[in-house]
Chains A and B, each alone.
Chain A
Amino acid sequence: METPILILHPPAESYVEVFETTILDRYRKKTHAYLSTSPEVPLKKLLVAGIGNCFSITKSFRNTEMQSNIHNPEFTMIEWYRIGVPYTEIMKDCEDLLLFIHTYLLRTREASDQQATKDLIYQGAHIDLSKPWERFTVSEVFLKWANVSFEEFLNFDTAKKIATKKGYRVEKDTSWEELYNQVFLNEIESHLGRGKPTILYEFPSSLAALAKTKAADPRVAERFEFYIEGLELGDCYSELTDWKEQEKRFGEELKAIKKSGGTTYEYDKDFIVALQSGLPECSGIAVGVDRLVMLFADTAKIQDTLLFPVEELL
């Protein structure tokens, strides 16, 4: 599916800063517009309309995502949805997709190089892409690498105590999500996907605004990410189909955007109307195409996969 880049209502996500622009009509009457941050909303509208399994490969834009080896404010995203399946099926898609790309590249290479290794090599490390990949829940990695009981960490007061004991700075306005990420980034992320891809699943619900919660434990959501050599490549949900819950979460996100001084906009009422007529049960994932190129071209910086990275234009 080709989805629009120029949009009127970005999906309300407080952690994403948008690019703002203006549409002028013939009388130069102004309408606020934005550059798409992901093809999610148009694809879900098409799912409601009955398009079935679908995908989009498109440019997406996220402002302020600079000064980083794995972000460019303009990037390419592949997003796909499957109807009537849980997110565990998308995990298999990811395994198949990466194996397919790797096998294809090996075929084109082997003709000219008899000694080529069959492993994927990224930044000096050999990676075994064969199925099944390693699967860990967030709770498991917290115990394994941070020596933290996630059960206890889910309680904000306990999390503050654990973080303070570990030497992190906990201030009045420090949020639970910040503590979670700081432990994750400092103690866990670099261990993921070493020698073999890691699928990290069952995220805390508060970190999965558009995902369904797990029926047996509503504190965690059906969301997964996959990592290779510490590089995060994709983010998947069992999609939230409840329009009331979606509208509530958009409201909360917009409040958070206002509070943090980000660019404000109205949420997409048309999307809520679409959800009211029924989004089929489905799972979807977004994978960063530039990061896939980084992986298979063996580059440490996303800028090296782009002919005109934004930072070089400034």
Chain B
Amino acid sequence: MMTDMTFVNPGKGSAFVRTKLKSLTSGKVIEFTFKSGESATELDVITREMQFLYKEGDAYVFMDNTSFEQYNIRETLLSDFVKYLRSNDTYQVLVLHDEAVGVRFPKKVWLKVTESSEGIKGNSSAGATKTVETETGAIVTVPLFIKEGDTIGIDPETGSYLERG
């Protein structure tokens, strides 16, 4: 399944499409650059709103908000996103042939800071920063003014801090 694409124009010549492809069995991601115009099979992937319930072994259990059916997603298919999953929150789950195969990353996730270290990394060009832990266990680099109990916005794609709530 293609998870990301961008166009490439090498110095000379026609356009190409750089993609990230994710294996729906192993969760492994590879990069591949296609010639522009190459055909590919369209997958019957649909998006459903589901609530994350709990983790059970290697599986993350979600419930469809309309049908109340439960779906399991294997950890390998969620990759880094597991760090941001919070129980009872609703996510856009990708479903292929009635099997949940992944989550569409939101642009931003809001999480509470549960632990804030005092460690200071001096770097004035980017502003002083420190690391904090969120309620879901994700470690995020944030500006010094962030305190325990604050809610912060994070880009799950890059894991970087965006803003304070």
Q: Which residues of A contact B (CB under 8 A)?
A: 15, 64-69, 71, 109, 112-113, 115-116, 169, 174-175, 177-178, 180-182, 184-186, 190, 203, 207-209, 225, 232, 235, 260
Name the CB-closest residue of A to B13: A177
**How many residues does chain B have at the interface if contact means C-beta atoms less than 8 Å apart?**
23
Name the CB-closest residue of A to B9: A65
Nearest CB on B from A67, distance (A)? 5
Give 27 CB contacts A-B under 8 Å.
A15-B9, A15-B13, A64-B15, A65-B7, A65-B9, A67-B6, A67-B7, A69-B6, A109-B124, A109-B125, A113-B122, A113-B124, A169-B35, A177-B12, A180-B13, A182-B16, A182-B33, A182-B35, A185-B10, A186-B33, A207-B11, A207-B12, A208-B12, A209-B12, A225-B11, A235-B11, A260-B14
**B98 CB within 8 Å of chain A:** no
Chain A residues, CB < 8 A from B35: 169, 174, 178, 181-182
**B105 CB within 8 Å of chain A:** no
Name the CB-closest residue of B to A297: B125
A178 touches B122 (CB 8 A): no
Chain A residues, CB < 8 A from B6: 67-69
Chain A residues, CB < 8 A from B14: 15, 175, 177-178, 181, 260
How far is it, in angstroms, between the C-alpha of A71 and the C-alpha of B6 when the chains are bound?
10
Nearest CB on B from A125, distance (A)? 15
How far is it, in angstroms, between the C-alpha of A115 and the C-alpha of B16 when the chains are bound?
42
How far is it, in angstroms, between the C-alpha of A185 and the C-alpha of B13 when the chains are bound?
12
In the A-B complex, the 8 residue pairs with the smallest Cβ-Cβ separation, listed nearest first, are A185-B33, A113-B124, A207-B12, A177-B13, A68-B7, A181-B10, A67-B7, A186-B33
B122 touches A185 (CB 8 A): no
Chain A residues, CB < 8 A from B8: 68, 185
**B58 CB within 8 Å of chain A:** no
Chain B residues, CB < 8 A from A184: 10
Name the CB-closest residue of B to A187: B33
